[in-house]
């Protein structure tokens, strides 16, 4: 039990509590409202809370609600006009679900619409009729989606921001370690460099997801800075490291890249500072002696790659540092 409650498992414990509380509240609320199928509310709550782990929770809740309303409306309309008998039922389900699937291509908010339409059409022959079934289905989904969103906002509302902050700092640390290894220009590190490139890519994918999970509510505490912009700046820094690697990892390059190496090490220091939440001085414009024109004059591809990579690194790292400052990560 102590291991489960350790800081290492904090995110798992939060997710478990959000799921347990959300599902329970959804069941009681749907029952209190006398909805005929409370389990649909519970399922919707679970889907929305799970979305907070891998995507935007508000987006999923909105899409689920809109898709349900659309599917219920189409299903109820078709159920009223379909011919009696098994053939009429099969034809109505086939036509409505096919039409909604066609319209839903590329529209995530219509994903659940065919499911809702099929339920309303198939169950509409009961004593309550399709209109009542459609209304019940909409209410069940709205209750479940609403409880899911409230569970995310009410239980550990700061967790997503904290997770994003940690992911951003960890990404800066990964980038610093990778760049330092690239600048060593040691052939024995090539396998490790490839591994670290893959690790940084996975880290940035996680950062993209973490950025989507933070929910900003209106009010004085709303953060207006764009977290996606920070993720994009990180991807550009990673590309700069790739370009620098083409220069520093070339055979015999280390002896000709002394000034470029010293400047690139400044970038390593700034990434390391960001990884521990410290503000950094700007890299500033690239020194004229390291500019691309110097490399081009000697027709040296190694110096050219180093000059291009550093020029981009100066710009992109300064932009990254500004994004850290805007989002109060330093």
pLDDT tens by residue, 290-329: 665 555 555 567 777 777 888 888 899 999 999 998 888 8
Contact indicator for 152, 4 with CB cutoff of 8 Å: no
Q: Model confidence at 1, in pLDDT bands (50, 70, 90)?
A: very low
Instruction: Write out pLDDT tens, residues 190-232.
Output: 888 889 989 999 989 888 877 776 765 554 444 545 788 898 9
pLDDT of 138 over the 50 cut: yes
Tell me the pLDDT of the chain averaged across its residues: 78
The DSSP string of 45-78 is HHHHHHHHHHS-HHHHHHHHHHHHHHHHHHHHHH
Instruction: Write out pLDDT tens, residues 58-101.
Output: 667 777 788 888 888 888 888 877 777 777 878 888 888 888 88
**Tokens found for residue 279:** 């503000």
CA 107/CA 79 separation, integer angstroms: 24
CA 63/CA 109 separation, integer angstroms: 4
112-116, 234-238, 242-246, 287-291: least confidently modelled range = 287-291
**Tokens found for residue 238:** 């990673």
Percent of the chain with pLDDT over 70: 79
User: Where does 155-189 have alpha helices with state H?
Assistant: 159-184
Q: What is residue 126's predicted lDDT score, i.e. its pLDDT?
A: 56
Q: Model confidence at 128, in pLDDT bands (50, 70, 90)?
A: low
Mean pLDDT of 53-61: 61
Higher local confidence (pLDDT), 198 or 150: 198
**The model's pTM:** 0.60
pLDDT of 53 over the 70 cut: no
pLDDT of 110 over the 90 cut: no
Contact indicator for 194, 201 with CB cutoff of 8 Å: no
pLDDT of 238 over the 90 cut: yes
Q: What is residue 293's predicted lDDT score, i.e. its pLDDT?
A: 55
Instruction: Write out pLDDT tens, residues 162-171.
Output: 778 888 999 9
Q: What is residue 173's predicted lDDT score, i.e. its pLDDT?
A: 92
Contacts of 128 (CB under 8 A, 6+ apart): 136
CA 112/CA 114 separation, integer angstroms: 6
List, in sequence order, every beta strand (DSSP E) within the chain.
none
Q: What is residue 224's predicted lDDT score, i.e. its pLDDT?
A: 45
């Amino acid at each position: 039990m102590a291991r489960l409650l350790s800081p290492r498992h904090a995110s798992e414990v939060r997710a478990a509590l959000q799921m347990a509380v959300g599902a329970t509240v959804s069941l009681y609320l749907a029952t209190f409202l006398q909805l005929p199928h409370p389990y649909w509310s519970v399922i919707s709550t679970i889907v929305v809370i799970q979305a907070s782990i891998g995507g935007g929770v508000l987006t999923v809740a909105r899409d689920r609600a809109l898709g349900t309303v659309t599917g219920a409306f189409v299903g109820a309309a078709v159920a009223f006009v379909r011919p009696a008998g098994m053939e009429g039922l099969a034809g109505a389900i086939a036509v409505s679900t096919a039409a909604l699937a066609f319209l839903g291509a590329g529209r995530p908010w219509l994903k659940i619409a065919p499911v809702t339409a099929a339920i309303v059409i198939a169950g509409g022959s009961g004593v309550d009729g399709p209109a009542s079934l459609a209304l019940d289905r909409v209410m069940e989904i709205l209750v479940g989606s609403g409880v899911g969103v409230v569970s995310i906002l009410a239980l550990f509302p700061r967790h997503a921001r904290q997770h994003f902050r940690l992911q951003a700092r960890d990404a800066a640390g990964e980038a610093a370690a990778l760049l330092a290894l690239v600048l060593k220009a040691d052939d024995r590190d090539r396998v490790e460099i490839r591994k670290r490139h893959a690790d940084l890519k996975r880290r940035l994918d996680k950062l993209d997801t973490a950025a989507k999970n933070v929910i900003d509510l209106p009010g004085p505490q709303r953060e207006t800075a764009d977290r996606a912009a920070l993720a994009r700046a990180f991807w550009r820094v990673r590309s700069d490291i790739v370009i620098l690697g083409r220069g520093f990892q070339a055979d015999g390059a280390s002896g000709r890249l002394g000034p470029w190496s010293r400047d690139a090490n400044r970038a390593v220091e700034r990434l390391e500072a960001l990884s521990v939440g410290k503000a950094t001085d700007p890299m500033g414009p690239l020194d004229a002696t390291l500019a691309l024109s110097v490399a081009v004059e000697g027709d040296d591809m190694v110096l050219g790659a180093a000059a291009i990579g550093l020029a981009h690194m100066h710009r992109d790292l300064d932009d990254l540092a500004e994004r850290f400052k805007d989002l109060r990560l330093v």
